[in-house]
């Protein structure tokens, strides 16, 4: 069996897969809140208790993997191949979580997606780019060599936020003042970014404070803002998502160009499946594909929302099997 993991800033998900990944269905899986554990090793032991031990393992981790080790970007945990090898006694590979997601996306069946644009090109017959919005913002790709896909990680979520309108320029300057002089794209496209955008709109005098956020725990505010925006009854929440979705759409189109994703582009992570009615609005897709001289190229690409929550786990299993 293959042990596959998806270690994020908030949750860790683990699954056991058969060596034959043709069916792409986990034998067993579980999800854990990271706050309930001291480290990932406790989670692995909890998951494997009473189960057959795996013969291979790969963990997608939310951060930079360097020399077999990763300090998670949004949690004070360090995960290493050596420590997990000592715990499990089997070969272990660490991969960036979005790179693992990209491999999983390249192998997903159509039922695991919602199409935003079908395009004229075949899904997976070329590089596949992924933009994943959740606790943080991740970007990665599955690079096609003509026979199979290989994971390509990046830390593109921490690149500069490229503002394109007066309100975005003002937001970028406001974020720089709050975050040590650097406004990354993750500060605008992520769960924690939503209440920050709301706070900016209040501070700039554009919106009133949302009474619905009073007394709501910080970790729950993104979900409340999302609920309000989907309900369509809060101009303040709508203003937050006007910015969020415009920047997200541009970043999705940017990823298509950066990775030359002729095999398709996927929008993944915990946030997009909750925003499907907003993402299906025509202006969102128009903002994705509008890239000047390359607009026609982007119109030819399949563009999808990932709804299968096992995509990153499936990718980790494929990386372990191919390592």
Report helix, strand or coil for 263: coil
Is 9's pLDDT higher than 90?
Answer: no
The pLDDT assigned to 182 comes to 96
Domain carrying residue 33: 2-108+308-322
Distance separating alpha carbons of residues 230 and 217, to the nearest angstrom: 20
Q: Are residues 312 and 283 in the same domain?
A: no
Strands (E), 221-301: 265-268
CA distance 121 to 300: 6
Q: Are residues 51 and 193 in the same domain?
A: no
Query: Into how many domains does the chain fold?
Result: 2
How do residues 133-146 score in pLDDT, each as one tens digit? 988 899 999 999 99
Q: What integer best gives the mean pLDDT of the chain?
A: 95
Q: Quote the CA–CA distance of 62 and 186 in Å, as a whole number.
A: 13
Query: Do 128 and 97 fall into the same domain?
Result: no
Same domain? For 10 and 77 the reply is yes
Residues 185 and 277 in one domain: yes
- Assess whether 181 and 303 both reside in one domain: yes
In this structure, the answer to whether residues 58 and 79 fall within a common structural domain is yes
pLDDT for res 21: 87
**pLDDT at position 323:** 58
CA distance 4 to 90: 13
Residues 201 and 302 in one domain: yes
Domain with residue 87: its CATH number is: 3.30.420.40
Residues 70-95 have pLDDT tens digits of 999 889 999 999 999 999 999 999 99
In this structure, are 318 and 272 located in the same domain? no
Same domain? For 285 and 155 the reply is yes
Query: What is the CATH classification number for the domain harbouring 189?
Result: 3.40.367.20
Same domain, 139 and 97: no
Based on the fold, state whether residues 192 and 157 are members of the same structural domain. Answer: yes
| pLDDT over 90 (residue 260) | yes
């Amino acid at each position: 069996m293959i042990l596959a993991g998806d270690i994020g800033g908030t949750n860790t998900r683990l699954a056991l897969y058969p060596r034959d990944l043709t069916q792409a269905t986990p034998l067993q899986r579980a999800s854990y809140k990271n706050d309930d554990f001291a480290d990932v090793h406790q989670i692995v032991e909890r998951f494997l208790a009473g189960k057959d031990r795996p013969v291979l393992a790969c963990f997608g981790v939310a951060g930079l993997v360097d020399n077999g080790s990763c300090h998670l970007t949004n949690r004070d945990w360090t995960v290493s191949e050596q420590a997990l090898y000592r715990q499990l006694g089997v070969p272990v590979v660490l991969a960036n979580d979005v790179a693992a997601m990209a491999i999983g996306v390249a192998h997903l069946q159509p039922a695991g997606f919602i199409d935003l644009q079908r395009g004229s090109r075949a899904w997976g017959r070329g590089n596949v780019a992924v933009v994943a919005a959740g606790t943080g913002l991740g970007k990665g790709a599955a690079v096609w060599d003509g026979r199979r896909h290989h994971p390509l990680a990046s830390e593109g979520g921490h690149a500069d936020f490229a503002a394109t309108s007066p309100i975005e320029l003002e937001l970028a300057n406001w974020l720089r003042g709050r975050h040590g002089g650097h406004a990354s794209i993750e500060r605008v496209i992520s769960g924690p970014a939503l209440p920050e955008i709301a706070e900016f709109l209040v501070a700039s005098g554009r919106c009133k404070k949302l009474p619905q956020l009073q007394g709501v725990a910080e970790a729950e505010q993104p979900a409340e803002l999302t609920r309000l925006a989907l309900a369509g009854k809060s101009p303040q929440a709508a203003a937050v998502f006007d910015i969020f979705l415009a920047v997200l759409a541009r970043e999705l189109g940017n990823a298509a160009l950066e990775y030359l994703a002729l095999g398709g582009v996927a929008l993944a992570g915990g946030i997009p499946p909750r925003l499907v009615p907003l993402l299906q609005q025509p202006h969102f897709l128009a903002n994705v594909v509008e890239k000047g001289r390359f607009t026609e190229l982007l119109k030819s690409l399949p563009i999808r929302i990932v709804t299968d929550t096992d995509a990153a786990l499936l990718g980790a299993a494929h990386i372990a099997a191919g390592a």
